[in-house]
Amino acid sequence: MSSGVLSETSRDTRGSSTTKDPVPSVADAFGSLVFTDAEQERRLPKTVHQALRRTITRGEPLDASVADAVASALKDWAVEHGATHYTHWFQPLTGITAEKHDSFLAPTSDGRAVAEFSGKELVKGEPDASSFPSGGMRSTFEARGYTAWDPMSPPWLLKFGGAVTLVIPTAFVSWTGEALDKKTPLLRSMEAISTQAVRVLKLFGSHAERVVTTCGPEQEYFLIDREFYLSRPDLINAGRTLFGAKPPKGQELEDQYFGAIAERAMAFMSDVETELYKIGVPVKTRHNEVAPSQYEIAPIFENANVATDHQMMTMETMRRFAPKHGLACLLHEKPFAGVNGSGKHLNWSMSDDRGHNLLSPGTNPHDNLQFLVFCTAVLRAVNKWQGLLRASIASAGNDHRLGANEAPPAIISIFLGDMLTDIFEQIEKGRAKSSKQGGVLDTGVLVLPKLPRDTGDRNRTSPFAFTGNKFEFRAVSSNQSIAYPNIALNVAVTESLDYMATQLEKATAAGKSIEAAVADLLPKVIKENKRIIFNGNNYAKEWEKEAVKRGLLNQKNTVEALPNLIAKDVIGIFEKYKVLNEREVHARYEVMVETYNKTVNVEGQLMVLMANRYILPATFEYQKQLAQAVSAVKAAGGRSVEGRKTLDRLTKLADQFKGRTDKLEKALGHEGHGSAEQHAKHFRDVVVPAMSALREIGDELEAIVPHNIWPLATYREMLFIK
Ligand code: ADP
Ligand code: MG
């Protein structure tokens, strides 16, 4: 039974503790720490297993007796693998993930302890919810919340620090049923899009009962030596460098992209991948990215709910494993100013319960027609709900990418590629109808040539690109959970599919064929929404001007973008499709504004600290050395012209630097009884510029103060020593 535990023990007695376990093959390792479907089937009575499958595949409620049986099997499996504790793992409104560990052991009346785990403990947990941000939701109602098992995402074992813990993925809700997390609305949004997509599929004669959204997030990140990381308070506490002059050798050489992966980084990746395989995350690709010391990891796509959990696990695992290799893993969107930042490309599609990708062009006119309807629905969704999409990726960190000196810009647009754009243009111009072949739609339009798969790199500047059989939301930040952008997309496309389905149902009910109904509808929808299509260089200045002409939003920062979330029509669709009610939307908005304020505040405080306690003392030290050198030269009867000049320049910079530090400190001290929004505006308009102004002088000082005195690791060291 406990073969895993036994064999490990026997290995330990055979060799020294440094003997390495034989490396298991990838296939053996994959999912070995997951309570997989196969494991469930093996351990559960048939009826229980079937009931559980129905819950997983059709969302049917789980009854108490089934939960008890599942809990018991799950506990046995976990204990056999050495687990002593279990945790309900969830995704609160801020932060990454949260967990509270409880022991399986329960005391017995005769003073012993036995491993216990009931269905109730599996299904429902009570974390101390008061410490999690709720955007004011709980204060007005019930002060507690509970975590509820998400049977769709399988439990796994976390082996860390010598402990083995059973991790149960859960949703976090208040006792009044309001969502206190990111998973609950994600699940609701997947339900909503399924309902509308099935309506459209039905019009095309499909018998599909459910549609799931699929996603494959590509994660970019930096790896730097941990010693450097530990020497920088800004990296430790803000995740990015707040000072730092550009390195002499920049990424402009572009010899990094797809280049050889340094040995330490390779060892780290291999370790992370092995661990992720074991806990069931299907990671697939790894490569160097554009910037020096920047890398990417990407999984094979999965159901969006599981993919979202797996993405959190990926980030956690990377953070956890880096120190083992003497590295620090930086997930911030812009750890180094002037160097390419990190994003997370969210590849997104819809798939029916037979596994057909709904965004894959078909091989016959009928399938192509259906593909065009789904594709047009996304086009309309992104145009109509661009504000919501923009807000879903807004954060203080992402402000350094979007709308700053980096692509993609803050303007949301769609890259369709030349061929699909051409097809859309033809449909819009109504060429379809003037077909000589007599059909309702020109088959020349409808029988699409097999679309060549656009590699994601064809247009690296677009925030939202069609890449052959999926869309890729590229403006997502490296540091964020993919839950919000997924939810935003799902809700937007749900509304769009609802609109399309309603129009098409009306037309077909009036006797039109589905082909004719589509031929009537598409040109109109394309005409109304085509302004969102842009295949050019999104980084160019002209695009900004062009976008203004087209009436597209260009919200350059979080403070500007977040109010989109609480716009009346946005709340309207969240409520209509039962994804979030008005209070739940507001709660998320409030937490996002607060998070922005806290982030900028921490960064500002850190800069003041680093200025006063690191950079100024070093500057004064050099000033002293220079002054002594100038005096010494004078005493020896000479004149140190250059020494004098440097000293003057240094003195001037030091004074300026201190002046700007004090100014920043004052800006941060701004007290006021304003709203969170007013604080946010103050941070954006006063604090952020004061930070930039201070940094400017700090970076100038870095170029003058000798290396042996400069107290911070430099960009050159951090980025090029591997
Ligand atoms: P590229 O490297 O050209 O961008 P890939 O095929 O490597 O394309 O895909 C990148 C990411 O997109 C991977 O994580 C992959 O799993 C994901 N992906 C592929 N197909 C889909 C799909 N139908 N739905 C969601 N994600 C997908
Ligand atoms: Mg990509």
Kindly state the DSSP code that residue 708 receives in the 8-state scheme: T
Smallest Cα–Cα separation from 208: which of 404, 322, 353? 353
How far apart CA 162 and CA 666 sit, in angstroms, is 47
Residue 562 bridge partners (DSSP): none
Tell the residue nearest (CA) to atom 19 of ligand 1: 301
Q: How many Å apart are CA 537 and CA 161, to the nearest integer?
A: 48
Question: Which of 415, 470, 482, 493 has the most ligand 1 atoms within 8 A of CB, as the residue to mutate?
Answer: 470
Q: Which atom of ligand 1 is nearest to the CA of 347?
A: 26
Those residues whose C-beta lies under 8 Å from the C-beta of residue 185, and which sit 6 or more positions away, are 179, 483, 487, 579, 580, 584
* pLDDT value for 104: 84
State the DSSP string of 621-660.
HHHHHHHHHHHHHHHTT---HHHHHHHHHHHHHHHHHHHH
C-beta of 468 in contact with ligand 1 (< 6 A): no
DSSP 335-401: SSTTS---BEEEEEEEEETT--BTTS--SSHHHHHHHHHHHHHHHHHHHHTHHHHHHHT--TTGGGT
DSSP string, 497-551: HHHHHHHHHHHHHTT--HHHHHHHHHHHHHHHHGGGB--S-TTSHHHHHHHHHHT
Rounded Cα–Cα distance for residues 52 and 40 (Å): 9
> Do 314 and 299 form a contact (C-beta atoms < 8 A)?
yes
Residues in the chain, how many?
722
- How far apart, in whole angstroms, are the C-alpha atoms of residue 55 and residue 66? 11
What ranges in 239-280 are assigned the alpha helix state H?
A: 263-278
Q: Which amino acid is at 522?
A: L
The two beta strands, 85-90 and 163-174, are: parallel
End-to-end Cα, the chain, rounded Å: 45
Q: What is the pLDDT of residue 296?
A: 93
Distances in Å between the Cα of 7 and the Cα atoms of 4, 13, 81, 169, 420 are: 6, 10, 11, 29, 57
**Closest C-alpha to 418, from 452, 444, 441, 446:** 452
Dihedrals phi, psi of 40, to nearest 5 degrees: -60, -45
Ligand 1: atom nearest CA of 345 is: 11
If you ran DSSP here, which 8-state letter would residue 429 be given? Answer: T
- Cα–Cα distance for residue pair 64/62, rounded to 1 Å: 7
Whole-number Å distance between alpha carbons of 703 and 619? 11
Beta bridge pairs of residue 472: 347, 465
Q: Sign of dihedral through CA atoms 415, 417, 420, 424?
A: positive
What's the rounded Cα separation, in Å, for the pair 394 and 390?
7
DSSP bridge pairs for 172? 147
CA dist., res. 698 & res. 607, Å (int): 10
- Token couple for 168: 């149960």
Residue type, 635: A
Report residue 481 as tokens: 């959970």
pLDDT means per 10 residues, the chain with 722 residues, are 32 37 69 94 94 84 87 93 92 82 78 78 75 64 72 92 92 86 95 97 95 97 95 97 81 51 87 94 82 91 96 96 96 94 96 94 78 96 98 96 78 89 82 41 45 55 91 95 97 98 97 91 95 91 93 96 98 98 95 96 98 98 96 93 94 98 94 85 96 98 96 91 75
Q: Is the pTM of this model over 0.85?
A: yes
| Strand (E) or helix (H) holding 67 | helix 64-80
Q: Is 469 in the pocket of ligand 1 (CB under 6 A)?
A: yes
Cα–Cα distances (Å) from 624 to 233, 629, 672, 708, in that order, read 26, 8, 41, 15
Contact status, residue 492 vs residue 385, Cβ threshold 8 Å = yes
- CB-ligand 1 contact for 216 (6 Å cutoff): yes
| Distance between CA atoms of residues 717 and 228, nearest Å | 8
293 and 722 Cβ atoms separated by less than 8 Å? yes
Q: What is the pLDDT of residue 71?
A: 92
Gap between the Cα atoms of 267 and 283, Å rounded: 15
The first and second tokens of residue 81, run together, are 């693998």
- 204 touches 187 (CB < 8 A): no
Interval between CA 368 and ligand 2 midpoint (Å):
24
Q: Tell me the C-alpha to C-alpha distance, in Å, between residue 289 and each of 293, 324, 562.
A: 8, 22, 30
Residue 91 CB–ligand 1 contact under 6 Å: no
Give the separation between CA 661 and CA 615, rounded to whole angstroms: 11
Pocket perturbation via mutation, ligand 1, pick of 211, 284, 347, 352 by most ligand atoms within 8 A of CB: 347
Q: Which helix (H) or strand (E) holds 102?
A: strand 98-103
> Does the beta carbon of 212 sit less than 6 angstroms from any atom of ligand 1?
no
- Residue 186 CA to ligand 1 center (angstroms) comes to 20
Task: Pick left, alpha or beta for residue 59 (phi over 0 → left; psi -120 to 50 → alpha; otherwise beta).
Answer: left
Residue 300, sorted as left (phi over 0), alpha (psi -120 to 50) or beta, turns out to be: beta
Give CA–CA dist 480/595, Å, rounded: 12
DSSP string for 590-625: HHHHHHHHHHHHHHHHHHHHHIIIIIHHHHHHHHHH
Instruction: Please state, in angstroms and rounded to a whole number, the distance separating the CA atoms of residues 266 and 353.
Output: 38
**Any atom of ligand 1 within 6 Å of the Cβ of 401:** no
CA of 285, closest atom in ligand 1: 7
User: SS3 for 285?
Assistant: strand
Which H or E run includes 689? Answer: helix 688-702
Cβ of 214 closer than 6 Å to ligand 1, yes or no, is: yes
Ligand 1, residue 348: give the atom nearest the CA: 25
